[in-house]
Amino acid sequence: MKQIVLAISGPAGSGKSSVGEKVAKKLERCANIDVDHVKHMIVSGFYKDQSNPAGWGFDQWGLVGDSIGILASNFAKEGYSVVINGYLDEPAWSNIQKHAQLTHKVLLLPQLETAIKRDAARLSDKGLGEESVKEHYRHFSNGRYYQSFKKLDTTNQSVEETVDAIVGMLS
């Protein structure tokens, strides 16, 4: 299989992290970049945002995208394929692509009720809450940027079935 840079995105509860890690493990010489790991390097600078159902805002999507793009580019230069998984806004995806070309883009999009149930089943400090999940869902379902992503309905798929579907797309 040739070298790839795969983007996996979707709303909370869609399976991005679980699927991203398992896809990376199935590929020869592959790095997995979890967006949350990079985003959470910023330990202060979040702000209260009453218009956001989560109650907080974040202005550094461009910086996160640049950082991920540089990481992806460095791994690719060393012959690694790269999986980038997580929730990003459009400016971040644009900044990633300044450094690394996305060869495949997948949007995990289970039915809304499934995403809500999956989020509710998370540990309390990891769950976003129903209103945030709904907002994420609207963002991905209606966002113009995500029209170019291959959509996968993961409602009735196990993580393994989703991973197999994505690996099949890469062949």
pLDDT in tens, the chain (171 residues): 689 999 999 988 888 999 999 999 999 999 999 998 998 888 776 655 556 555 555 677 888 999 999 999 999 999 999 999 998 888 899 999 999 999 999 999 999 999 889 888 877 666 677 888 888 888 888 888 899 999 999 999 999 999 999 999 998
| Cross-strand partners of 91 | none
Q: Which CATH architecture has domain 5-170?
A: 3-Layer(aba) Sandwich (3.40)
Q: pTM, whole model, 2 decimals?
A: 0.87
